Structure 1
Amino acid sequence: MPMDDNPLTDDERNDRNDGSTPVVTICALTETQRVAAAGSVLVDLDRGVQLSFDLLNHRGLIRRRIHDLTGIVEDTLIPMEHGCAHCSLRDVVIRSLREWSAHGRPIVLALPPTTEPATIVPDLIEAADGDRLRIGGVLVAIDAATVESDLFGDDLLDERGIAQGATDRRAVGEVVAHQIEYADAVVFGAPLSTRQAAILDHLARETASRCQLHSLSGADLLDVESHDHFRTATDGCRTAAVEPGPATDAADSDGIWTIELLSDRPFSPDRLRSELPALGAGPLRGRGHFWLPTRPELRCVWDGAGGQLSVGPAGEWPGPQQTRLVITGAGGDPAVVRAAFDRALLTDAEYVGGAERWARVDDGMDPWLGVRMIG
């Protein structure tokens, strides 16, 4: 979908021209991708200014660089104010946006490489409320040549030398998946192959545009009204999409497929662990939620990519319990995944005894879901 498929009318643009300062947010896996995308947006904005941030965790500092088309305006190091690097970054970014909003110039916000937009953009939107800021589109830059291996391979960020500190054990795949799934626009250098395009068809939001760098329109991104695309549950600074939205309407193509697995039954804790290799390992992107008979009140999040699977608590159920996974694969047989899902669900016989029976069972999930009193 090109950037200008649904341009705003002149009246709509005038409605947006309310004196607020628009912000385009750039996310990427690598510095090279970030520089290319941010530069392409900046040259397209009248009087635009770029604010770039980098985490220097080993020194307890955040680097802030500000420049426009005339050159460097500022290059400064700011001490982190929290033990949490993400919290420090959020606070510095918000203060910087507020400071520069007084200049009335469109802002290109280049976040540190490997930053996942869902961990900071909702905070920016909340902070902008009442200020002279308007958070516009989120642009994610990818490398077309490596997007499949980035998403479905098993490399860790630190194995590629791009981790955000010594404790960052994220997989490349989970970062790229979280970036693409949040994006308002996805940009790339070389043209996409049909298989690469199919990957975006299955993972990117239906309304997200995509284009090559040379046809990118920064002005169109200013006109996007950003929002928190997912209902989220927050555990400290970890934000996970517990509601992946409807399964894609994209057709299976070039070996890329998506299936929705749905049941009102919980997983058997023991069989869930035994079926994890089929459900969460290999070239799969999985997202969703589930429940266990040992913790019927707890909604559990499922978030897997890059050969890693993260499960954790996501609060109480707002309605009836449900087990729902949306899984996208690159190659392989979706029937194998569906069969593993079915085997992991509680059987009729296991329902006998109800909650009282399962209240006395140790589910072995305390490390992921929290300590549970048995009895």
Structure 2
Amino acid sequence: MNTGEPPLPVAIVAGLHTDARRSAVEEILRTVPGSVALHHDLSGATDRSVRRTVRDATGPLDSGEAPLTNDCACCALRADLVPELLRLAAGGGHRLAVVELWDSVEPQAMAELIAAEGAPLALTGVATAIDPAGVVPYLANADDLAEAGLAAAPTDQRTVADTFARQLEYPTLIAVADDTACDEPADDGDLALLAQLTPGARRVRLGRGALGPALLGGFDVEAAAVRQHPACALLPQDSDEHGVSTLVWRRERPFHPGRLHAALEDLTCAAARSRGRFWLADRPDTLLSWDAAGGALCVESAGPWLAALPDAAWEMVPAERRVAASLDWHPVHGDRRQHLTFTSPGLDRENLLALLDSCLLTDAEYALGPAGWKHLSHAFDDLLDTVA
């Protein structure tokens, strides 16, 4: 219902680094008059409920419990979040509502949930708070969230590393904890790694009062989703600074499925974080996504390449993807190409380049063309759970 009142600005602060996240929220409450923070604590979900608290700079204002839904704490959060925000909006008097997400909750789903509600809510910012000295340890942590006591549902199979990577790469703001608030001071390498992993985000130092105003600037969930889509993701740029490197590997030829499959373990462990898109010779119409962190790799189909679609279907594709494809259009392959990025301290660029290039089709294999490529090994069938 539109009462004519301006919508309530809502900002999200996420992060597995609990102390940094709490520091970020406390700073916002201190520096943005009229702000309140809403937090759902999922750690007590074993007691069949999720505890909700609302506070401002002076302390707690309200508390309550949201019943568990299908034994899923995150489902309870989703069901309770928007009604609580609407209650705050109806009460009036708040300049900003800060949604402090629990440790392993990823910001994208919550941002899209809030944005879909529309008035009287207005999503104005999304930030992830981090301790820069913890970036390498968290990206290297292959533990399941359940093992770390951070699972949001019984079926939660995410790892600490891949959850942390997505928390880093989705928002437009990274709230960086001050050294005085961290267990260990960050060095130049930590900051270089953070900068290379988050090329499209503004990094805001906590303790300077800048985070709150930055979160009022606005947030476009559709643009954010495009930035995450494998076909046009905003990937890191080639860099080498303070012992941290990002290798951007781009090629036009398809991978030999058998040789790439045999090299997966070495490629996955070659960097703290690797991302991108690629194509296989035996699946020339399928855009495949590459997502690796903590020594674990996820390879999935992201739908067809644009070159595999009929012309009439192009109008259904986001304009950003069409523009991205046109910039690299190949006269034969269209938008099909390899585009992988590897970011890590101590990256062995030379050997990584050699290994990646060795997985491409040779001249003789390439000359067989698509008809011949169909007879190559279908090594990824089990991994992709499809029939070639």
Question: TM-score, normalization: structure 2?
Answer: 0.80
Checking the alignment, whether the CA contact within 8 Å between 1:54 and 1:112 is kept in structure 2 is: yes
- Is structure 2 residue 237 aligned with structure 1 residue 248? yes
Unaligned runs of 5+ in 2: 180-184, 308-334
Partner of 1:338: 353
Deviation by residue 1:38-85 (Cα, 9 ceiling, x = unmatched): 122112221211110133554553332212234323322222445765
CA distance in 2, matches of 1:301, 1:268: 16
Partner of 2:381: 366
Query: Residues 159-174 of structure 1 correspond to what in structure 2 (within 5 A)?
Result: 159-174=147-162
Partner of 1:214: 207
Q: Which amino acid aligns with 1:114?
A: S
Q: Which amino acid aligns with 1:179?
A: Q
Checking the alignment, whether the CA contact within 8 Å between 2:197 and 2:236 is kept in structure 1 is: no
CA RMSD in angstroms, aligned pairs only:
2.7
The one of 99, 118, 127 equivalent to 2:87 is 99
Q: Which amino acid aligns with 2:103?
A: P
Partner of 2:323: none
Checking the alignment, whether the CA contact within 8 Å between 2:11 and 2:216 is kept in structure 1 is: no
Checking the alignment, whether the CA contact within 8 Å between 1:230 and 1:241 is kept in structure 2 is: no
CA distance in 1, matches of 2:149, 2:72: 21
Question: TM-score, normalization: structure 1?
Answer: 0.82
Q: Determine which structure has the larger helix proportion and give its number.
A: 2
What SS is found at the alignment partner of 1:279? Answer: helix
Partner of 1:322: 337
Checking the alignment, whether the CA contact within 8 Å between 1:231 and 1:242 is kept in structure 2 is: no
Question: Once the 2 structures are TM-superposed, how far is the Cα of residue 151 of structure 1 from its aligned partner?
Answer: 2.1
Q: Which amino acid aligns with 1:299?
A: L
Deviation by residue 1:150-199 (Cα, 9 ceiling, x = unmatched): 22354443443333345434332222222222231322131532111111
Partner of 2:109: 119
The 1:311/1:57 distance shift into structure 2, 3 A limit, reads farther
Checking the alignment, whether the CA contact within 8 Å between 1:152 and 1:283 is kept in structure 2 is: no
CA distance in 2, matches of 1:273, 1:159: 28
CA distance in 1, matches of 2:271, 2:235: 21
Checking the alignment, whether the CA contact within 8 Å between 1:30 and 1:114 is kept in structure 2 is: no
CA distance in 2, matches of 1:98, 1:368: 43
Query: Residues 1-375 of structure 1 correspond to what in structure 2 (within 5 A)?
Result: 19-55=6-42, 56-81=44-69, 86-104=74-92, 105=94, 106-128=96-118, 131-183=119-171, 184-190=173-179, 192-211=186-205, 213-228=206-221, 229-231=223-225, 241-248=230-237, 251-319=239-307, 320-360=335-375, 363-372=378-387, 374=388
CA distance in 1, matches of 2:366, 2:55: 63
The 1:29/1:357 distance shift into structure 2, 3 A limit, reads same
What SS is found at the alignment partner of 2:104? Answer: coil
Checking the alignment, whether the CA contact within 8 Å between 2:66 and 2:77 is kept in structure 1 is: no
Percent identity, aligned pairs only, is 30
Question: Once the 2 structures are TM-superposed, how far is the Cα of residue 285 of structure 1 from its aligned partner?
Answer: 0.8
CA distance in 2, matches of 1:364, 1:89: 40
The 1:210/1:192 distance shift into structure 2, 3 A limit, reads farther
Checking the alignment, whether the CA contact within 8 Å between 1:173 and 1:306 is kept in structure 2 is: yes
What SS is found at the alignment partner of 1:120? Answer: helix
